[in-house]
Amino acid sequence: MGKTIILIRHGEAEHNIADDWQLPDPGLTEKGIEESKALASKLELIFPPQSEENCRIVVSPLKRTLQTAHYGLRWLLDRGVPAEVRAEWQETTDNPCDIGAELSEIKEEWPDYDFSSLDPIYPQKTGMYKNSEEAFQTRASFARRWLSERNEDCIIVVTHSGFLKRVVKGPKFRNVEYRTYELVEESGELKLIEIDT
């Protein structure tokens, strides 16, 4: 089997329960924190220890995804698995809830994460980050291509439901739901095909 990609949607966040898309970069609720801790227990059971040796964590730069990774993947971070923050995995809309804080602010708050590859345009919603279906598809294609070019055996991505539905086909991800994929190329197009774990 080729490279394994695990895609995870963040835990329940404040805007999810308030149904308020005007909240700026909301964090996880208490339930979201507990969901993320439960995710850690599930993943640790199915994740073979040898996989840690050639694995990478990729996280959207929004607060709720960083917190989900902190609580849900802490066991991997503590074992030295690198965690990289990448702008292409952010959420799609330009509502305040989907616009993150400035790099100087988040970098200070999350010292365990590598921000060196974060697109300097972040958090602006322009170019492939703007709120349009064409931009979403461009960004999803960019994300799949980036995954294909990595040499790790396993990449775990913590991201958002709106962007996930552009990256993969299938039903909407629930909070902290994870699915496992294999990256394949069909007719010159990269696709993520879901596999059983």
In this predicted model, what pLDDT tens digit does every residue of 48-84 receive, in sequence order? 665 667 899 999 999 999 999 999 999 999 999 999 9
Query: Which tokens belong to 138?
Result: 């461009």
Buried b (16+ CB within 10 A) or exposed e, 15-48: bbeeeeeeeebbbbbeebbebbeebbeebeeebe
Catalytic residue among 160, 166, 168, 183: 160
Q: Please report the pLDDT score of residue 3 as a whole number.
A: 86
The architecture (CATH level 2) of 33-195 comes to 3-Layer(aba) Sandwich (3.40)
Q: Please report the pLDDT score of residue 50 as a whole number.
A: 58
Q: Please report the pLDDT score of residue 40 as a whole number.
A: 94
Catalytic residue among 9, 10, 56, 70: 10
Q: Please report the pLDDT score of residue 188 as a whole number.
A: 83
Laid out side by side, the sheet with 83-85 consists of 83-85, 55-59, 154-159, 4-9, 178-186, 189-195
Known catalytic membership, residue 15: no
For the question of whether the overall pTM of this predicted structure is more than 0.85, the answer is yes
Q: Please report the pLDDT score of residue 49 as a whole number.
A: 62
In this predicted model, what pLDDT tens digit does every residue of 81-103 receive, in sequence order? 999 999 999 999 999 999 999 99
Q: Tell me how far apart the alpha carbons of residues 197 and 179 are, in angstroms, rounded to a whole number.
A: 8
Mean pLDDT, 10 residues at a time, over the chain (197 residues)? Answer: 88 89 95 97 79 88 98 94 97 96 94 96 97 97 96 95 95 96 89 87
